[in-house]
Structure formats: structure tokens, C-alpha cells
Amino acid sequence: MACSDDPRDNLRRQLKLVEEAAKNGAQIICTQELFKSLYFCQSEDHRFFKLAEPIPGESTQAFQKIAKKYKAVVIASLFERRAQGLYHNTAAIIDADGSLMGTYRKMHIPDDPLFYEKFYFTPGDQGFRTWNTKHGKIGVLICWDQWFPEGARLTAIQGAEILFYPTAIGWHPSEKAEYGKAQHESWELIQRSHAVANGCYVCAVNRIGHEHVTDAAGSRVSEEGLEFWGQTFVTSPNGQIAAKASVDKEQVLVVPCDLEKVEFSRTHWPFLRDRRVDAYGNMTKRFVDQSL
């Protein structure tokens, strides 16, 4: 969905869409990243820390009610206020009985033009986790995490059958003509590769809309803003795109995922079996200098 500058209205509309998904048969439902607000990370502004909330809190309680009512798992992306001066970009994982299973805090925090997330978010300290929900074993990561094969792998080897990535990614409009096609194709390609390499489904949930954030005086912090490219999609374990949503229209996408295909993929393409874990020690190093 597209977001406005009214957090309560955004929550109301997101809850409505989650309920629509549940009514249409969805058993595991994932929101887009930071759905309660405009993508405020376009600027470094202390005002926006007021958008953060505790977990558990009002938002998680609202999603828990829907999860329990429809016996559906819900993944809700929130701006978490953990303590004074300590904030995270967090996904709350709610099981089909309405219980809050826990949280995943975004591990990789970007710092790029109009994506100034390091100003707001402390990197996650819980590691990568898999959640054994009523409807399947799932892994939850967030946006920038989706570019790192290490995160996908460490989640998959804990048994995750589906990786979910709440996302807020878009174009700088002035760059779209030259780089836009390649940027979007790279985004899809890296997640399709996670599906193949780990033999699992991958679900990336992106927002839509052209967003402008204003400063305290009401002026735009960037004249061009960010144009979110939507196109939420689900990839099968063989890397094929099973379904894709619109570029610019609000949409609920309900996609059947046959978890038997995970077992089929992992036995017919046994990458997990053939990993040389004895030879990967350098993966924990920042850089390997072979000249020494």
C-alpha cells in the first residue's frame, strides 16, 4: 500500500488489508516495511523518533487479534522503541493463536542518499532466527538484509521453508531512466538466487507510492523524493517467480506455497548437504589479505 503522514490511518488501512488477506485464505501474512509512516529515513531528523513504539504494544495487540480471529500467522514491520536512545527496525512475529512469538531486528542497516537508516536504527542483536509457526517454518529478515546471502543461508540452515522480507525500496526518480531497470532486476535476481541456493520460498513485500518527507518547517527534504517500485513477489524454490503484484496499485497478493517443493528441492539440489563447512572459516572475516 501507499503510506501517508498519519500513523493511525496507516495502521487502520494495513489492518484492513491483513484482514482481507486472511479472508481470502492467506495463512501467513506479511506487511511491507515500516507501514505506519512515510519512509522517514529520507532525512536525519530527531522528530521522527516519536514515531517509534514499544513491542509488545498497541500495534502488535491489533495484529494479534486478527491473527487469533483468522488463525493466521502475521509478520508486522514496526519502528521499535526498545529503550531510551535505543531503536530498531523490527518485525514482530505473531503465531496463528494470536501469541507474540518474538521479534527479528534488522541486522544490516543502510546509509545511502535518502536511505539514512543508521541515524535511526541500532543493528539487530538477536542474530538470524527461524520461527516454527502453525503454518510452516519461516525466516524473517528486513529489506537491506535481502542483499546478503549470509543472512538467507543462516536462516535457511535452521530449517526455514519460506523467507519473508518486509521491504521499502524505490528509485531516485532522477536515476530511474539510466539505472532503474537494472536496479529492479538486481533486486529480483538476488532474492531468486536465495530461493535456489537454499531450496526455499522467498517472499519480498514492498510498498508503493511516490513519497516526499518534509522538515519541521514543512519544506521537502528532497524535491524528487523516492518512488517506491512495488512489485511484491514470491519466488519458488526453483527460482521461478510464482506471483508478482502491481507497480503502483494497492494490492493483496495471496500465493499458494507447496512446502513439499522445499523438500524436493533440497534433496534433488542438495546444496545444504554438500556445503564444505570445514573450509568456510574466512567467511567470518571482514577481508582476507592473501599477500600475508
CA–CA gap between residue 289 and residue 287 (Å, rounded): 6
Greatest Cα pair distance in the chain: 61
Give the residue numbers annotated as catalytic, written as ranges: 33, 106, 143
Q: Which of 66, 193, 97, 90 is nearest to 143 (CA)?
A: 90
Give how far Cα 218 sits from Cα of 42, 147, 212, Å: 14, 34, 11
Task: Name the 3-class secondary structure at 153.
Answer: helix
Task: Name the 3-class secondary structure at 263.
Answer: helix
Residue 107 has which C-alpha cell? 541486522
Whether the Cβ atoms of residue 272 and residue 199 lie closer than 8 Å to each other: yes
Amino acid at 268: H
Beta bridge partners of 211: 226
Residue 131 has which C-alpha cell? 520461527
Q: Which of 17, 94, 77 is nearest to 252 (CA)?
A: 17
**DSSP codes of every residue in 61-127:** HHHHHHHHHHT-EEEEEEEEEEETTEEEEEEEEE-TTS-EEEEEE-----EETTEEGGGT-PPPSS-
